[in-house]
Amino acid sequence: MINRLLSYLVTSPQYLLPQHFLSQLISYATQMRWPPGKNFLIRQFIRYYQIDLNAAIDSDINSYPNFRSFFTRRLRPELRPMAPVPNGVISPVDGKISAIGTISRQMIIQAKGQYYSIEKLLGGNSNLAEQFFAGDFITLYLAPRDYHRVHIPVTGRLRQMIYIPGWLFSVNRHAVQVIPELFVRNERVVTIFDTDFGLMAIILIGALFVGSIETSWMGIVTPGKKRSPQTWTYPKVNSVILEKGAEVGCFNMGSTVIILFSAGSISWEKNLVPERDVQMGELIGTYYG
Stretch 215-228: mean pLDDT: 77
Residue 196 has a CB neighbour count (10 Å cut-off) of 13
Residue 266, pLDDT > 70, answer yes
**Mean pLDDT estimate for the chain:** 90
Quick one: pLDDT at residue 255? 87
The helix/strand/coil state of 144 is: coil
What Å distances lie between residue 185 and 205, 240, 254, 264, CA to CA?
Answer: 10, 29, 17, 28
pLDDT, tens digit (0-9, with 9 covering 90-100), for 130-170? 999 999 999 999 998 899 999 999 999 999 999 999 988 88
Handedness of CA 270, 174, 30, 23 (dihedral sign): positive
Residue 222, pLDDT > 60, answer yes
Quick one: pLDDT at residue 3? 67
192, 201 contact by CB (below 8 A): yes
Stretch 116-131: mean pLDDT: 95
The whole-angstrom separation of Cα 200 and Cα 226 is 28
Read off the pLDDT band of 15 (50, 70, 90): confident
Catalytic site positions: 94, 151, 255
Q: Are strands 114-117 and 88-90 parallel, antiparallel or unpaired?
A: unpaired
Quick one: pLDDT at residue 170? 85
pLDDT, tens digit (0-9, with 9 covering 90-100), for 18-58? 777 777 777 778 888 999 999 999 999 999 999 999 999 99
Q: Are strands 241-242 and 156-164 parallel, antiparallel or unpaired?
A: antiparallel
What does the domain layout of the chain look like in residue ranges? 2-71, 79-287
Stretch 213-218: mean pLDDT: 92
The DSSP output letter for 252 is: S
